[in-house]
Every structure is written in structure tokens, then in C-alpha cells.
Structure 1
Amino acid sequence: MRKIVVIGHGGHSKVVQDTIQSLGGHTLIAVLDDRYTDISYKDGVQFGPVSEAKKLAKDHDVVFTIAIGTNWVREKIAKELYDYGATFETLIHPFSFVSPSAHIGPGSVVMAGTVINADAVIGSHVIVNSGSIVEHDNFIGDYAHISPGSVMTGNVTVGTGAHVGAGAKVIPGKTIGDWAVVGAGAVVVHDIPHEQTAVGVPAVVKSKVLIK
């Protein structure tokens, strides 16, 4: 049994915890979120602020997952936890399909109903959310979020920290820049520059992303 700590206790965290439960082989020992100022326990699980991660990371049998949907926040916390010496778990729901030739980095979460096909590369701390498709030869950068029901067709590149909205589609060979945002339901037929928001069918750049 691996001891796992979940960082974040919002709606996304509920789905991550369900994924952990579906896998077996893991024991949830703590849920940390700065909504908590004190330490408490329920059913053997510790609840407390994120600062408690520094103590828990000293146990080499403990692994972490960051269950926070906002990409730049996930990056910030990951960097803090790396400084503590934390190790991150890759979580892949049993009701997903991941090609044997795909690669998924540490700290990433693959939700139920997803498909990740041949030679796709998924970076670290990526969310591949429920029912999304990452086709062959995709590259998904660290801290990106592929939202529910979205489709990345073949040879798509999604940059670091980019967010592809629910139900969006990206045609083959296109690139979504670092920290860019693609709106829900958009159809990407042209490359999207770094730190830009694109919406519509076809997707058109509308504004600069305010990252932090």
C-alpha cells in the first residue's frame, strides 16, 4: 500500500480522490488545503493546511498528488513540494485507455473515460480530464489541463500551463502556446500563441491571458 497525500480539497479533489479509491493499492493519509488552519482527523485521514506537506514529505513512503484545477497554482505548489523533497504519484483511472507507447509524467492525473493513444507524451502535473481524447503523437506540456470531453487530434502540441476548455477540438498538427487558454467548445484550426485566449468556431484569439 502506498501512502498518498492529496493537496487541495475542492471539486476537482473529489474526482481525484475517487480515482485513488478506484485504483486500490493506495491509502489516503491526508488532505491538505489552506482552508484549514488547524489539524484534524476523520476516518484516519489528516486534514490541515498545505504547510503540513513539509513534514509529511520526510516520510519516504509518502507520495503526493496536487488536486487543484488552476494551472499556475498547481505549478506553484509543485515547486514548493519539490523543495521539500516530495515524490509525486501518477494516477490513471482504470476506466481509461492509455497506449503502452504513451508516456505520462509524475503528478499527472488521467480521469475516467479518457483515451491517450500511441506515442503521446504527457508532461508532469497535467490534468487529462474525464472523457477527453489525446490522440497519437501529441505532446502535452507540464501543468496543462485538457478539460472534459475535449479532443486533441493527431500531432497536436499543448504548451506548458495551457488550458483547453471543455468540449474543445484541435485539428491535427496545431500548437497551443504556453499558458494559452482555449474556450469551451472552440475548434482550433490555427496555432494559438503563448498566453492568449482563443474562443469560437473556428477559434479566434481574443485577449491576453492574465496568468497570476
Structure 2
Amino acid sequence: MPESPRVLIIGGGGHAKVVIEALRAAGFPPPLGILDPRPPAPLVLGVPVLGGNELLERLRAEGASEAVVALGSNPLRQELGDRLAALGFRLPPVVHPAAQLSPSARVAEGAVVMARACIGPDAGIGRLAIVNTAAIVEHDNRLGQAAHAAPGSALAGGVVVGDRALVGVGSAVRPGIVIGADAVVGAGSAVVRDVPPGATVGGVPAALLGPGRG
């Protein structure tokens, strides 16, 4: 059986550290390196920073074939994921072995599922989405493209989270709620009604803090 290709990591900040450890725990080969235009250090958990994103085309031409976008910004993660796909990179999903996934759950390309996350039956995790440490994404949930369920968040059954939306740390979402694209749910909130696209909500129960669109 041919050896799996080494993964290129896009981003060298704090989120990259969690991704690197998830890759190692999941049995991926040592990463090829990190691309970051403003790296905090020349090495991140022992993985070298090769340079900025201007190296993408050259590395692809030299045979790099897989990449993981390790950035917390939802819009930027989607933007760079699209660029990588256009260059022909494959975006493997990364699932930490300490996560608990239902056999019927689906995790799309480029998504990352962290340690102690729990994903229920028939849940769908979208392309480039993040299910962060100890987040609960219950049965029949839909996390959109580049959405983020932050650490310790709990989404009850049938919740829909739109593209690039953020469900903040420790938030709870009632069954059947729809959170619109690009919305932000503040940390520690209790979401009991639908959230419009682009809106910011927070509190217990969550109230509108910033306007939505449409």
C-alpha cells in the first residue's frame, strides 16, 4: 500500500497547534510544513514554517497534494480552502480519534473534528467546518461550509448552522433552531429562537446584539 502524502498546513497560530496534534493522533504522516505570512515562530510544535501563501503554486508543482486549513477565521478558511481546491490540492477531513462519531454522521472535505467532540446520527459536518474540543453536534444537525461549533458548545437535534456561522464557546442551541449564514452566537449563550443571517446574538436567552441581513 502506498504511503499517505504529507499534509501542508495553512496557518501557524493557536488553531494550528490543535490541528497538528489531531493529525498526529489520527495517524497522518508528519506534516510537510506550515505556510503563514506572519508566523509566530519558525517552528510550531516542531513543524517548520516554510514561508507564506505565495509558495502554494510552487509546492503544488513540486508534488504537494494535500492540505489542511488551520485558521480560526471562518471566511478566511473558506477563501483559502477554495484557493487550494482550485490549485488541485485535496482537503482531507481530520477527525481526532478521541472524538465520538455516529456511523451515520458525515464529515466533508477539509472539516476538522477535535478531541472529545460528539457527533450524532445523520449529522452532516460541512466542508471546511470545525467541530471544536468537546462540542456536541446532535442527531440530524447540519453545519454549513466553514461553520464553527466552538469548544463546549451543544447543539441539540435538528439544528441548522449556516455557512461561516460561529456558535460560541459553551453556547447551547435548542432543537430545530436555524442559525443563518455568517451569524455569530456569543460565548455562553442559550439560543431559543432562529438567528438571522449575519446577526450577532448573545445572552440567556440569546438576544439580538447586531443586525442581520435580509
Name the TM-score, length of structure 1 as normaliser: 0.92
Matched residues in 1 for 2:68 and 2:117: separation? 19
| Cα offsets for 1:68-112 (capped at 9, x unmatched) | 001011111112212211110100000001111011100000000
CA shift for structure 1 position 2: 2.6
2:14 alignment partner AA: G
CA shift for structure 1 position 52: 1.1
Partner of 1:82: 85
Partner of 2:32: 29
| Cα offsets for 1:14-58 (capped at 9, x unmatched) | 11001111111322111000115xx99x97845210121222233
2:164 to 144, 152, 161: 161
1:118 to 104, 118, 121: 121
Matched residues in 2 for 1:87 and 1:112: separation? 23
Q: 1:34 to 1:3 in 2, by over 3 A?
A: same
2:146 alignment partner AA: Y
Matched residues in 2 for 1:29 and 1:57: separation? 12
Partner of 1:148: 151
Pair 1:201 & 2:204 matched:
yes
RMSD between aligned residues: 2.0
Aligned residues: 207
CA shift for structure 1 position 183: 0.4
Asked if 1 retains the 8 angstrom alpha-carbon contact of 2:34 and 2:47, the reply is no
Partner of 1:132: 135
Unaligned runs of 5+ in 1: none
Percentage of identical aligned residues: 38
Partner of 1:6: 9
CA shift for structure 1 position 209: 6.8
Unaligned runs of 5+ in 2: none
Q: Which moved more, 1:89-98 or 1:43-52?
A: 43-52
1:133 alignment partner AA: I
Pair 1:94 & 2:97 matched:
yes
| Cα offsets for 1:111-136 (capped at 9, x unmatched) | 00100010001110001000000000
Name the TM-score, length of structure 2 as normaliser: 0.91
- Aligned pairs (5 A) from 1:51-66: 51-58=54-61, 62-66=65-69
Partner of 1:15: 18
Matched residues in 2 for 1:89 and 1:63: separation? 7
Asked if 2 retains the 8 angstrom alpha-carbon contact of 1:177 and 1:195, the reply is yes
